[in-house]
Amino acid sequence: MAALAAGATLVTANQRLARHLAAGYAAARQREGAVVWEAPDILPWPQWLERGWQDCLGQLESDTPQPLLTDAQELALWEAVIRSADTEPLLQVPAAARAAREAWQLLHAYRLRLPRADEARSEDVAAFTAWAERYRKRCSTPRWLDRARLPDAVRSAFVAGRLPRPQALLIAGFDELTPQQRELLDDLRAAGVA
């Protein structure tokens, strides 16, 4: 509570925990007799990353803005990629798009590399590899940024000084940090963020 009152940022694993901790902070301030107070900076991980993108006006990695795709836009793009693929037509394209998006996010979060087409051990892996390459190409021309790559872009912006670092950063509710999250937090720590 003292760190939040001093201006620290608290990043939580989910929205529910952020709301719970904000309510706890408000209750503590009321017990202290405060009538008004500045709202604490408590955000779930995805919203904290998105705020970084907004603070840079989308210019996380260069002077050219990178539009951040919404969840619906990402899914629509995955569906378009899957529908245009040279594979057997799928009956459940929306379900395949959701699964592909989740696999893409895990690929980035855990620093896995996309297998080459000749390394695919199953038809599913081969299909995903082809879809992912098309998805990557579709995002690169207009420089679209998706949620899977947003942590890396925010990390680059902090390292390059495009994004001001928080004075102190607290994290709560994470059972395990992904390698992608750990790298971002390690870079902030190395830059002097408490």
Q: Check pLDDT > 90 for residue 25.
A: yes
Q: What is the phi/psi pair of residue 77, to 5°?
A: -65, -45
Q: Check pLDDT > 90 for residue 115.
A: no
Residue 127 in contact with residue 156, Cβ under 8 Å? no
**Residues 32-70: pLDDT tens digits?**
999 999 999 999 999 999 999 999 887 877 788 899 999
- Name every residue whose Cβ is closer than 8 Å to that of residue 50 and which is 6 or more positions away in sequence: 68, 150
Q: Which tops the pLDDT comparison, 87 or 70?
A: 70
Average pLDDT score over residue span 3-25: 97
Q: Which residue has the tokens 């038809």?
A: 123
Q: What is the per-residue pLDDT for 75?
A: 98
Q: What is the per-residue pLDDT for 177?
A: 98
Q: Among candidates 40, 38, 50, 39, which has minimal Cα distance to 10?
A: 40
Average pLDDT score over residue span 154-173: 94
Average pLDDT over the chain, rounded to whole?
93
Q: What is the per-residue pLDDT for 61?
A: 79
Q: Which tops the pLDDT comparison, 106 or 141?
A: 106
Average pLDDT score over residue span 155-159: 93
Q: How many CA atoms lie within 13 A of 194 on its CB side?
A: 9
Q: What is the per-residue pLDDT for 116?
A: 80
